[in-house]
Amino acid sequence: MEFIIDTIDLEEIKDAIEHMPIVGVTSNPSIVKNTHPEKFYDHMREIRNIIGKDRSLHIQVTAKKAEDMVKEAHKIHEEIDDAVYIKVPVSYEGLKAIKMLKKEGCPITATAIYDEMQAMMALAAGADYLAPYVNRIGNLGNDPYQLIANVSTRIDHDQYPTKIVAASFKGVQQIRDALDAGAQAVTAPVAILKQIFKNPSIDKAVDDFNADWYSMYGKGNSLLEVE
């Protein structure tokens, strides 16, 4: 199970990896627009410095033609490193680009998945991650969790090394449902992941424990001060 974050905000990334078991950072042009770094590659190199090589970094191409997607992938690897996962939308041209890049051994995150057969095609083409858009699929009246379950079953049945990284969330319940359906990973905004801990019962439990402790040993006498 992997928790990945949708952001390129440097302070947000630092905070998230200090507090949560975050294993990667994903971006796309819309996520980049939210932060709007003046020098894109300098900014992404700084993210790599923050997260290190042990965490994954996913950067999306912007071209629409397969050959141009491949050129952009090469540029990304030249500017950052060849461990970056290239995010490629699973369009007809995108699928061609995935095949071309996998022949070179490029790590691929197949994104913008709305349909089960899209996922199956990307799976067969060798994508390392498949990113179905949970909330957007649901908004179209389809069941994203059935898609995840079916593709997860296919991955297990045929022993693909590919992982499903569910994306496009509006709340914690959607994340939980995606994991329960069989997604091996999720990528979500930091703000949504933080919602997990915004539970008054958690705060009350901590406050009650503290009150019991200090009622015995006196205010200011934490575990560091008592004998």
87 carries an active-site annotation: yes
Q: Which of 24, 77, 27, 16 is nearest to 54 (CA)?
A: 24
Q: Coil, strand or helix: which one is 131?
A: strand
Using CA atoms, how far residue 149 sits from 146, 153, 224, in Å, is 5, 6, 49
Using CA atoms, how far residue 85 sits from 134, 149, 169, in Å, is 21, 24, 21
Per-position DSSP letters for 6-30, written without gaps between them: E---HHHHHHHHHHS-EEEEE--HH
Among 33, 39, 71, 87, the active-site one is: 87
Per-position DSSP letters for 163-221, written without gaps between them: EEEEB--SSHHHHHHHHHHT-SEEEE-HHHHHGGG--HHHHHHHHHHHHHHHHHH-TT-
Q: Which of 222, 210, 186 is nearest to 24 (CA)?
A: 186
Q: Catalytic residues, which ones?
A: 87
